[in-house]
Amino acid sequence: MKKRECKYRYLWLAGLLLSGTLSAQPDDGSGSDIEESQAEAVENIEPNVVGFPESESDNDSPDGSGSQFVATTDQLVIADPLMPFNRVMHKFNDVTYRYVLIPLADAYVSVTPDPVERGIGNFFDNIKTPIYLINHLLRGDIKGAGRDIGRFAINTTIGVAGFGDPATNWFEIEEDLARAGDTMAGYGVGYGFYLVLPFIGPSNARSGVGMFIDGQLNPIQYLMDSPEDTGVRIFDNFQEYGPTIMSYTDLREESEDLYLFMRNLHVQGLLRDQQYPEQPSKASTEGAANVEQ
């Protein structure tokens, strides 16, 4: 289902930040204030999310280092065995978002009319139809593949190279962004371990592999492979992963430990996607994970 936010669509590889993540609270109750502030923030951003998963302290790992944190619920089990690496990536992303990506996005949206932003987003969604088509075929979803072909034909012709979306607006053929991460989930592949990716942010092993596969299926890297086309490929990543970065500053202010907070949000996004699989996030590859990981 196509859901687009106009502001901050063009922030490179940052939108999965809000697909969510998992937080560990001390068993002695000393983290109750943090938990309350996190719960309030999640309620504002993820209104369809269920309560926080029960979790153990980071210090409950076998070696006492906290790097083997495991959180479990009736619905989900996820581990953070790469915590030292993940925290380094988290700090790198935090600096990059605050001092590079967010200022660039602010400057861009201040001079770009909303209709132009929507048109560019439509163009990139349309040109990446092979990603959705192949994933629907791998799932055995012939009807979904047919919709992909129909949308591509209509939007490429009537929609003027995909800048318009008459397939949705006139013919009511809704967009279904089928991703490799979801395809793997359909074959029983679990989330794997928690993973923070550079620029992208909170993710998991399945999402990371899925993004790599989808990247290989993306026609843009084959159609525009010269140095002069680098800007176009970056623009594609802007519109793909940046629809919700505008909330990052607010999230920073809400949390005393942003790493744990974002990890908690990631898990909440996964739980939400399990509860509402018919409403996948455009910025997420997991549930669609959008996040919306």
Give 16-71 pLDDT, tens digit per residue. 333 333 333 334 444 444 444 444 443 443 322 323 344 443 444 433 334 444 44
Q: Give me the number of domains the chain comprises.
A: 1
- pLDDT score at 111: 81
Three-state DSSP class for residue 70: strand
Give tens-digit pLDDT for 121-171: 899 899 999 999 999 999 999 999 999 999 999 999 999 999 999 999 999
Q: What is the DSSP letter of 51?
A: P
> Parallel, antiparallel, or unpaired for β 77-80 and 201-204?
unpaired
CA–CA dist 3, 266 (Å, integer): 20
Q: Is residue 170 part of a domain?
A: no
Q: Is residue 265 part of a domain?
A: yes
Q: Read off the pTM.
A: 0.69
Give yes or no for residue 106 having a pLDDT over 70.
yes
Find residue 79's DSSP bridge partners.
70, 193
Q: Is residue 209 part of a domain?
A: yes
Q: Is residue 4 part of a domain?
A: no
- pLDDT score at 271: 87
- pLDDT score at 133: 98
Q: Is residue 28 part of a domain?
A: no
Find residue 70's DSSP bridge partners.
79
Give yes or no for residue 233 having a pLDDT over 50.
yes
Residue-number span of the structural domain to which 77 is assigned: 15-20+66-115+176-217+230-275
Q: Terminus-to-terminus CA distance in the chain, angstroms?
A: 16
Q: Is residue 107 part of a domain?
A: yes
Nearest to 273 by CA among 196, 206, 215, 198: 206
Give yes or no for residue 208 having a pLDDT over 90.
yes
Q: Compute the 3-state secondary structure of the chain and give helix, strand, coil in percent, each to the nearest 5.
A: 55, 5, 40
Give yes or no for residue 12 having a pLDDT over 70.
no
Write the DSSP string, 209-278.
HHHHHHHHH-THHHH--SGGGHHHHHHHHHHHH-TTGGGHHHHHHH-SSHHHHHHHHHHHHHHHHHH-TT
Higher-scoring residue by pLDDT: 264, 42: 264
DSSP alpha helix (H) spans, 112-204: 114-127, 129-138, 142-157, 166-169, 180-186
Q: Is residue 134 part of a domain?
A: no
Q: Band the pLDDT of 229: cuts 50, 70, 90.
A: low
Q: Is residue 39 part of a domain?
A: no
Q: Band the pLDDT of 251: cuts 50, 70, 90.
A: confident
CA–CA dist 175, 160 (Å, integer): 17
Higher-scoring residue by pLDDT: 84, 278: 84
